[in-house]
Structure 1
Amino acid sequence: MKLGGSVRSRRTLAGVSAVLLAATLGATACSSSDDDSTSTAAGSTSALPENAATGAPVKIGFISTEGGGVVSIPEWREGAEAAVEYVNKNGGGFAGGHSIDLVVCKQAEEPTSATNCANQMVEQKVAAVLTAGTSQGTAIVPIVGGAGIPYITLNGVSQLDVTSPDSFALSSGISGSLVATATAAKAEGMKSMTIFASDGGGTAGIIEMLGKPIFDGFDIDLKVVAIALGVPDPTPLVASGLASNPDGISIISDAALCTSVLKAIQTSAPDAKKVLNTVCLDKSVLDVVGVEAVEGNQGITGIDVFSDRPDSVLYRSVLGQYAPDLSLTGPGAQGYQVLMATVNANANVTGDVDAATIKQAMQATDKVEMPAGGGIIFSCNGTAVPMMTSICSTQTLYGLIDDQGVPRDLQVAG
């Protein structure tokens, strides 16, 4: 069982996708034993039940962002594969007891390979297409949706992800992250905040457009400072963002820029309160700036790794059994979540299972718990965000960052 470890990826900001989706979290390694129930630094685990699937296999597609020169995150696939092992061998199967035949296609985060994967899914006649997140929804959704296949993503990135009737975006995405940031800031008594945002793909403008009304609702004055890609030293821009003496700061960027911004803040305003997402808590960041730069501040996350909630215990147990080399706190969690969330959403389905059955079940979901989500719920029945009915949740978690750089004692925002 592992807690730390860097992600095998090369990130660039072509938009919101690489900012919010390619997230990792650094932590310490944990010990383990051969006991059925093991108490570790990560929390307890339990023996998995012997409850194998008995029904005919259902093909579920998984499009993995993997092998590209821009970003490659095989951990998403590995987390989903671990979840499938559990469902087939221990979890009683999918949708009334069917085993899952996971059909994987790897795309390089560019239109040609993404289109190829979408066509493969149609050719393979999968009953649903899952992904932890990709910026290539505009290439994938029309193809699979046109074939009547539901597209289920944990993180909605493209416009079609959050607007297509064939798409289901399970998590709250950037809006939920901003709500959680504002909630955490309010809890810390902040009246003003500066967000330093990488400006790749117009991200800073999106954050300002979405963030202003959110922060206004919390009576917090928001300032967004855009930092262009490739800036060798953001110190002058950081100084401008701190000139008004904001009560707190946040950063939305890749890990490299987050490191540079945090270093500049340590120099000019070391006592500034921070609200940080998991990208800025990446091991690669903390190795440079030191955990003392973030400890005691608020952290934003979409997964509850360490609590004693049954779904968190199950998550730790499944990865311990089927993916022991996968970091518990890394992006593999997102692959696990999208697969298990789909299983949970189809728990009441019986009989034959096909694309139409799964789509109908997804459209009917109402207050289903996100696996290892710390109490986050998703509803894909159009009630979560009425203006964008493909978005299924508004919730994210926040909590105080501990001495390992991990948000703890998580609360639901949104």
Structure 2
Amino acid sequence: MKRTLRSTLVVGAAAALVFGGLTACSSDDDDATTASGPTTTLPDNPATGEPIKIGFIAPEGGAVSLPSVREGGEAAAQYLNENGGGIGGHKIELVVCKQHEEPATATQCANEMVENKVAAVVTPLGAQGAVMLPIIAGAGIPYVAQAPVSQAEMVNPDAFMLSGGIVSVLAAQAATAAKDGVKKLTVLIGDTGDAAASVRALGQPMFAQAGVELNVVVIPSATADPTPQITAGLGDNPGAVTILGDSRQCIQGLKAMQTAAPDVQKYLIASCLDKPVIDAVGAEAVTGAKAFTTVNLTSDDESVVLYRSIMAKYAADTDPQGLGYLGYQVVMAIGEVGSALPGNGVGPEQMKAALRGAKDVPVPAAPGLTFTCNGQAMPQLPSLCSKAMLVSTVASDLKFTDTQVVNN
């Protein structure tokens, strides 16, 4: 494991898998308060304590611009301030900076956080962690993200990852394949950077330990129609297939499978269950698939009902089934650990102590998942606060059913 980690911690594929919690969109015909499900009345518990500055770095304004991530985080902060008792009674002063998914603006945002003397930085989504984390952690400020992308985010003692990203996805798929009696699983992945080599190096030991053969099929990203390559890659009749990539690659892969292997079991990550993919391939292409996520927005669990209620009140124009949950989860997670904070004088050291003391804290809007930030979820990667995933079956109405927590 240690040998493979040296080559895989640069994991290019993790940039795609940072979306690893997105769910499929639920039906617009639901007879409920919102299109996505029931909501509830929010509590009346305003925060009154001394404000704490929390930095929020969002991927917005550049080639990759996802304002819904910021909107989800801002909604969570408003809820905590006006309804949820803040962070241990303290109000949240959210210091927002938008980075354009390139080093210059990422560096600028990291420096702004240091200059603003924030108590913690949350960065729910993005591939610039290797740029930002050294600056933020170098100033002694804790860095909280939904999933790691870079090596630094996996091993820095001042980084706290709510989920394990690609590490958790592959481990959960290996465990699920073994449970399902699958003897051979094929990964379809693009040829960008070292993603395929990284997935092969990290995944093969995991799958071998589970008694499953892993076959990584590389699909040229420049190919307009990769059906012939995918068909050839499925020629050895795998028991299950997963696609690790963005929405475009998911569409290509799912369409090819409809022709080459219509009955094969599909193991799908978030990007393959996004609305543009469903619109392109049809619901039947994913019905019966196993979904590997870190959220379940089609659930009526009280934590998900709360999420929908907060979004309906404080981000009414943001799709609650989109990526807004990423910003929501990281801000709400800070609120969850706030009970360990002192009554005053809260700074980075107090926030780090509260985070390191977090034990079995429920992941917001992810019923069944918890995080513990003592560095033991996976000791080789001490920044991971969890390696668990939610594994569900995608029903014909695109809702998740038979959800299980996999923590291998």
TM-score range, shorter chain: over 0.9
What SS class does the counterpart of residue 101 from structure 1 fall into? strand
Please say if residues 262 and 289 of structure 1, whose CA atoms lie closer than 8 Å, have aligned partners that are also in contact: yes
Assess, with a 3 A threshold, how the Cα gap between structure 1 residues 89 and 31 changes in structure 2: closer, same or farther: farther
Q: 1:242 aligns with which of 231, 234, 246?
A: 234
The answer to whether 1:297 aligns with 2:319 is: no
Distance 2:20 2:69 in 1: 9
What SS class does the counterpart of residue 383 from structure 1 fall into? coil
What SS class does the counterpart of residue 123 from structure 2 fall into? strand
Question: How does 1:157-306 map onto structure 2 within 5 Å?
Answer: 157-306=149-298
**1:40-69, CA deviations, whole angstroms, 9 ceiling, x for partnerless residues?**
663332100111000111110000011112
Assess, with a 3 A threshold, how the Cα gap between structure 1 residues 14 and 171 changes in structure 2: closer, same or farther: closer
Distance 2:334 2:194 in 1: 32
Assess, with a 3 A threshold, how the Cα gap between structure 1 residues 193 and 32 changes in structure 2: closer, same or farther: closer
Shift of 1:256: 0.5
Letter in 2 for 1:63: I
Q: Which residue of 2 aligns with 1:322?
A: 314
Q: Which residue of 2 aligns with 1:67?
A: 61
Assess, with a 3 A threshold, how the Cα gap between structure 1 residues 294 and 15 changes in structure 2: closer, same or farther: closer
Q: Which residue of 1 aligns with 2:3?
A: none
Distance 1:252 1:301 in 2: 13
Question: How does 1:7-406 map onto structure 2 within 5 Å?
Answer: 15-21=13-19, 24-28=22-26, 30=28, 42-69=36-63, 71-94=64-87, 96-352=88-344, 353-406=346-399
Aligned alpha-carbon RMSD (Å): 1.9
What SS class does the counterpart of residue 237 from structure 2 fall into? coil
Please say if residues 184 and 275 of structure 1, whose CA atoms lie closer than 8 Å, have aligned partners that are also in contact: no
Distance 1:32 1:57 in 2: 39
With structure 2 as the length reference, what TM-score do the two structures score? 0.92
Shift of 1:32: 8.5
With structure 1 as the length reference, what TM-score do the two structures score? 0.91
Distance 2:104 2:20 in 1: 21
Assess, with a 3 A threshold, how the Cα gap between structure 1 residues 359 and 208 changes in structure 2: closer, same or farther: same
Structure 1 residues without counterparts, runs of 5 or longer: 1-12
Shift of 1:39: 6.1
Shift of 1:23: 6.8
Distance 1:384 1:19 in 2: 19
Distance 2:33 2:403 in 1: 20
Shift of 1:308: 3.3
What SS class does the counterpart of residue 312 from structure 1 fall into? helix
What SS class does the counterpart of residue 383 from structure 2 fall into? coil
What SS class does the counterpart of residue 340 from structure 2 fall into? coil
Distance 2:24 2:380 in 1: 36
Please say if residues 133 and 156 of structure 1, whose CA atoms lie closer than 8 Å, have aligned partners that are also in contact: no
Letter in 2 for 1:85: Q
What SS class does the counterpart of residue 85 from structure 1 fall into? helix
What SS class does the counterpart of residue 332 from structure 2 fall into? helix
What is the total number of aligned residue pairs between the two structures?
Answer: 396
Distance 2:318 2:210 in 1: 38
The answer to whether 1:412 aligns with 2:405 is: yes
**1:220-260, CA deviations, whole angstroms, 9 ceiling, x for partnerless residues?**
11111112322222122212221111111110011101111
Distance 2:77 2:83 in 1: 10
Structure 2 residues without counterparts, runs of 5 or longer: 1-10
